[in-house]
Amino acid sequence: MNRKISGVCPIIATPFTPSGEVDLAGFRRLVRTLAAAGCHGLTLFGIAGEYYKLDDIEKQQMAEALLEEAARFDSAIIVSVTDHATELAVRSAKRFAALRPDCLMLLPPHFLKPGAAAIARHVRTVAAAVPDMPIMVQYAPEQTGVGIAPEVFAAIYRDHPNVCHFKIECKPAGPYISRLLELTAGRTWVHVGNAGFNMIEAFARGAVGVMPGCSLFDVYLQICAALAAGDQSQALALHGELLTVLNQIRQDVEMIVRFEKHILLRRGVLSSDYCRHPSHEPDTTEWAMFDAVYQAIARLLRTLPSVG
């Protein structure tokens, strides 16, 4: 049941038309582009995908479109359940599981800062509702403001072995990753978030995947290929060039969402870089700095596959 998912599994951006409607045709084209270009997995409704700006009907339409488009490719499919209420999360988990993705990702509730016991109960309840579906728990305390000890996740894994993947985004993430893998005897799989800022160290500690935004996916693929080949110096060099861009565009979450979409527009994948409001609106200096760092990394970008 529990399939290992590894490599580059980017968060799929949500394309909008200039009037703010979900662009399903553009979404399908983006999915085909990422899968055809060799992404090992595709992740729907991550924070970088603006899930919090979508209604339930739009989410269902996008999930169905993703599974339909992905059927012709080998990329693993991960769909995130983000509902705050446990009862609603169970409904969403069952609905998405019926589409047969490879894994569900679960963002624990964070509004009004529920405690560790409430969060653990939420994860356990959802896991029990879909026992045959692998689950990845997203640990993003910087975004949610809720801290969870690795011992809590390890205990959940022991009782619910389908909770076998973890996306770790705390800072620093390294010791947390090592401790979680130690507590689970290396039988769980860890994926790196935070745009892959610490992916070199995380992979050295046993992480198997990275889940960044999707606009620079080919740079992440090159880094992962270098790590897989044992060429850490090349991986570090590539990662250093990537950090030049990330340090500029990831000063807050809405900022990187905005610039990720603009990169996809520049690369010809999206026809609009519209973000639903509230969003980050770059000023002239930010645009100038973006242009400078983007030109610096442009040589690493690959020609995109023709997907229609």
Alpha helices, H only, the chain: 24-36, 56-70, 86-97, 116-129, 141-144, 150-159, 174-183, 199-204, 217-228, 232-249, 253-266, 284-297
pLDDT band (50, 70, 90) for residue 242: very high
- The CA distance from 77 to 84, in Å, is 22
Assigned fold of 7-229? TIM Barrel (3.20.20)
Q: Mean pLDDT over residues 211-216, rounded? A: 98
Average pLDDT, the chain: 97
Closest CA to 192 of 298, 296, 59, 180: 180
Please name the residue that has the structure tokens 């979900």: 22
Percentage above 90 pLDDT, the chain: 93
Calculate helix-pair angle for 86-97, 116-129, nearest 10 degrees.
30
Q: How many CA atoms, within 13 angstroms, populate the side-chain half-sphere of residue 216?
A: 30
CA distance to 15, 22, 60, 152, 269, per residue, from 18 (Å): 10, 10, 22, 43, 15
**Among the listed ranges 134-148, 173-187, 209-223, which one has the minimum average pLDDT value?**
134-148
Q: Mean pLDDT over residues 140-158, rounded? A: 91
Number of separate helices (H) and strands (E) present in the chain: 12, 8
Q: Is the pLDDT of residue 116 over 80?
A: yes
Q: Dump pLDDT digits (tens) for 157-197.
A: 999 999 999 999 999 999 999 999 999 999 999 999 999 99
Looking at residue 7, what is its pLDDT? 99
For 164, other C-beta atoms within 10 Å of its C-beta total: 22
pLDDT band (50, 70, 90) for residue 142: confident
Q: Is the pLDDT of residue 140 over 70?
A: yes
Q: Is the pLDDT of residue 251 over 80?
A: yes
